[in-house]
Structure 1
Amino acid sequence: MISMALFNNKGGVGKTTLTYHLAHMFQRLGHRVLAVDLDPQSNLTSAFLDEDDLAILWAEPESPAWGSEQLALIGPLPRRITRETGTVAASVKPIMEGLGDVAFYEPVQIVDGLWLVPGDLELSAFEDRLSEAWPRCFVGDLAAIRTITAFHRIIDDAARKVNADIVLVDVGPNLGAINRAALLAADTVLMPLAADLFSLRGLRNLGPTLRTWRATWQKTVLPNVPSSIPAPSGKMRPLGYVIMQPTMRLDRPVKAYERWLERIPAVFGTSVLDDEPGAVPGRSYEIATLRNYQSLMPLAHDARKPMFDLKAADGALGSTQTYVHKCHSEFRELAQRVLGRLNEADRAETAQE
């Protein structure tokens, strides 16, 4: 099993959309996939689950048994949310309340071969607890170590339960304590970028921060973690970046887009890979450029399915169906390229061991 966080310090680049579609495409390619929503906004969870499921999931059921109100919501029809289902926020609730360690729940099965560890808006309350725990990890405080490793242990437990090959972790667009714990739990990091000034500035902040987190975790914290507490390696190996192409407008011509696109490799090399200035890696870390599929998004949202699965019955008529086929082809190619990078990272990890 290998995990990959999709992360950008800048919001609004299509990170969650990319996570959702890659999860489905990896599953189409024969992999067992676990998607984990560690963004308190929970947009990935909302993409996977309908409102009825969300109403049950976020009704704060008591563990281990639900009350009659929640059971009544289920009704006679089978649903994907059961008594054994819980969000990430429910898993860390015992830590939040000072009553114990993480609670483990069953992932939600979306389709055969694809599961979800759902998110929750209440996860944002875990930020302060994680911030407080970070410095206490440096001196081997066991309660703090359990707090910081909570996400890793939740992901590891869920992945083992479903025998996942690939874990995709969706995180929010910031460099706060929740994202620090989430990224430390990831083996690799894929960065969706827009070709603009804001993404470049995000990369300049992101790269040094990741290196600092990695060094602090591996040199200061890991030596103090007892073998009884499963802990991540904190490698966070950068896989590369995916350019999310914007809608071209008259006030932002193609030349402006290309100007920023040409600058990304150098900034990625120096800020993320820590290369010497001038040692530009070319565009070898650019995995793909995805066109803007804005016209398909409303249809996909209403049909509650990936854009590349849209049918005529979903409103994808005429030339739109050609666009759907193009979308499928491009996401399949992207998924295969990302799989290649994941395999390279896995081999490199095995060689180091």
Structure 2
Amino acid sequence: MISVAMFNNKGGVGKTTLTYHLAHMLQRLGHRVLAVDLDPQSNLTAAFLDEESLGLLWDEPATPAWGGPHQARLWTQTEQTSGTVVTAIQPIMDGIGDIRAITPVAINQDLWLIPGDLDLSRFEDNLSAAWPRGYTGSDLAALRVTTAFHRIIREAADEVDAEIILIDVGPNLGAINRAALLAADAVLMPLAADLFSLRGLKNLGPALREWRSVWQNTVLPKIPQAIAAPSGTMEPLGYVIMQPTMRLDRPVHAYRRWLERIPRVFSASVLNHPQFDIGTKYEIATLRNYQSLMPLAHDARKPMFDLRSADGALGSTQTLVQRCFQDFRLLSEELLRRLKEVPST
């Protein structure tokens, strides 16, 4: 199996949308996929599950509007062993034990989800305190905290025999994201063609290098074999440019100057090669603005490329649906090709 984190220090670039659609397309291409929501905002979970299922999963009190097949479906699929990532780390946060095994929620055949939870933000302090305490390798409690996400993901992936793990994380460089990214073999970076995304890359690259160096050189060699630990590879796969306004299949002039700067910033900040001309080598795809497809997909609770006329995708909108399918298929195939070059753990 191999794990990929979707990450950019800049929010609002379509990271969760990318994760959601890649998960569905990779499954469509014949792969067993586990999606993991490690963003405390839990937007990926909300994309996969309806409100009734979320209420049951998060143990919210029932309301008169609830009831019906969705609650029963959630529990039937998971045999009442489902939970969120917070369910899994609750014993650590309570100081009474190690991680608790949870069964991923089955979305459909060969696609599963480890749901997120807004309470995940409470784990930030645990992770911040554990990071420096793990330097010596003798503080086993600290090492269990730092490796918790990795072990939760691996146990769930082993249970469903997942081939590809997609990890959605929030747009910051805090302790939660450090632990989440350490659990990733590779990192895919969604970008918008604007100043803010470039600034995000400039912060992201040095942070990844520092975390990788500290983990691999200082912490990992001292971790006892009894604790399953990630390799901390975090290999930069490349970037996906999200939703520029298109005209005649080309970005309009307002975006062009930012598009031209992305390779230089990526090479200098992420790859640490300021003098290298990488061209478009790390540009995996450019995804257009699919206009009205997103709200239709949200209402239909399905990927944009699965929309049908019954969902409101009528006339010329169906042409856009077909183009969306082709775009995500090509992106997924290129992602799979690049993942073959990344050592899996």
> Same fold judged by TM-score > 0.5?
yes
1:6-28 deviations in whole A, cap 9, x for unaligned?
00000000000000000000000
Q: What is the distance in 2 between the residues matched to 1:76 and 1:14?
A: 31
Aligned to 1:138: 135
Cα pair 2:245 2:252 within 8 Å, conserved: no
Residue number among 253, 263, 266 corresponding to 1:265 in the alignment? 263
Instruction: Note the C-alpha offset of 1:76.
Output: 6.9
Q: What is the distance in 2 between the residues matched to 1:18 and 1:290?
A: 10
Cα pair 2:264 2:278 within 8 Å, conserved: yes
What is the one-letter code of the residue matched to 2:2?
A: I
Q: What secondary structure is seen at the aligned counterpart in 2 of 1:268?
A: helix
Q: What is the distance in 2 between the residues matched to 1:222 and 1:196?
A: 37
Aligned to 2:43: 43
Aligned to 2:317: 320
Residue number among 117, 120, 123 corresponding to 2:120 in the alignment? 123
Q: Unpaired runs of 5+ in structure 2? A: none
Within the alignment, does 1:4 sit opposite 2:27 as a pair?
Answer: no
1:229-251 deviations in whole A, cap 9, x for unaligned?
000000000000000133469xx
Q: What is the distance in 1 between the residues matched to 2:306 and 2:230?
A: 36
Q: What is the distance in 1 between the residues matched to 2:253 and 2:85?
A: 43
Cα pair 1:56 1:74 within 8 Å, conserved: no
Q: What is the distance in 1 between the residues matched to 2:195 and 2:152?
A: 36
What is the one-letter code of the residue matched to 2:162?
A: A
Q: What secondary structure is seen at the aligned counterpart in 2 of 1:278?
A: coil
Instruction: Note the C-alpha offset of 1:91.
Output: 0.6
* Identical positions, percent: 70
TM superposition score normalised by structure 1 = 0.92
Q: What is the distance in 1 between the residues matched to 2:38 and 2:321?
A: 29
What is the one-letter code of the residue matched to 2:26?
A: F
Instruction: Note the C-alpha offset of 1:255.
Output: 1.9
Q: What is the distance in 1 between the residues matched to 2:192 and 2:341?
A: 25
Q: What is the distance in 2 between the residues matched to 1:327 and 1:270?
A: 32
Q: What secondary structure is seen at the aligned counterpart in 2 of 1:119?
A: coil
TM superposition score normalised by structure 2 = 0.94
Cα pair 1:187 1:236 within 8 Å, conserved: yes
Q: What is the distance in 2 between the residues matched to 1:102 and 1:278?
A: 45
Within the alignment, does 1:291 sit opposite 2:285 as a pair?
Answer: no
Q: What secondary structure is seen at the aligned counterpart in 2 of 1:288?
A: strand
1:219-271 deviations in whole A, cap 9, x for unaligned?
1111221100000000000000000133469xxx9223010000100110111
Residue number among 84, 90, 94 corresponding to 2:91 in the alignment? 94
Q: What is the distance in 1 between the residues matched to 2:323 and 2:246?
A: 19
Within the alignment, does 1:79 sit opposite 2:73 as a pair?
Answer: yes
Q: What is the distance in 1 between the residues matched to 2:304 and 2:253?
A: 29
Aligned to 2:175: 177
Q: Which runs of 4+ in 1 moved over 6 A?
A: none
Q: What is the distance in 1 between the residues matched to 2:252 and 2:275?
A: 26
Aligned to 2:32: 32
Q: What is the distance in 1 between the residues matched to 2:133 and 2:254?
A: 47
Instruction: Note the C-alpha offset of 1:279.
Output: 1.3
Q: What secondary structure is seen at the aligned counterpart in 2 of 1:167?
A: strand
1:91-145 deviations in whole A, cap 9, x for unaligned?
1110001010000110000000100000000000000110010000012210000
Decide whether aligned partners of structure 1 residues 31 and 76 sit closer, same or farther in structure 2, where only a CA change above 3 A counts.
closer
